[in-house]
Structure 1
Amino acid sequence: MNTQTEPGRLMVHELGRAEGPTLVLLHGFTDSGLCWPDAVRRWRDDYRIVAPDARGHGESARFDPATRGSNLFGQMVEDAVSVLEAVSNGVDPWIRARFRDGASS
């Protein structure tokens, strides 16, 4: 699934049980949404797993150079909200998991 955000496209990997509760996996810097093989194996039978490539990673659009230095994290927050809105269909609850990047998260 591709999710359109401003100013570009995000790749969103959907895995697991399509009708299960939604589990959103957010990766850290230098990775992609496919960095969760152990989690996918563990939860694919019970959850609909949604793992986006963060902006500038994997198959997602790159950062807008005009705002890269001043609003990098703002763009990432907007992207995460766009993904959550796209996968929730306005009604489905979701569970979020992420890993820390030390001081950057």
Structure 2
Amino acid sequence: MKIKVERTGGIAAITRVWTVDARTDSDLSQWQPIVEACPWDAVPSTPRAAAAAFEAPRPDRFIYSITAGQRRAALPEHALTGPWRILVDTARAAAEEAGGPLPGADTGEPG
């Protein structure tokens, strides 16, 4: 299962991408519960739909596009709570530990 988190927006409009490829049984047993805990059917699947679905848009905030296998979700930063926050933070940490963001993605943090 491939897990990809893409963060877009912010003041500088810089995109960051973190990817984890869970291939082994051990990897899948770690990632499956995290992925399954997220309410995939309760959120939009595209950034545009997320912007329309969540009231009170917040300019210059991040939008997270998340994929895990065939599942898709998009959430604004303020809605990234609970199991979504766990999934994003865990994927980001694992990707950075394995070598960082995808080539071409920004390597700096917003200041």
TM-score under structure 2 normalisation? 0.31
TM-score under structure 1 normalisation? 0.32
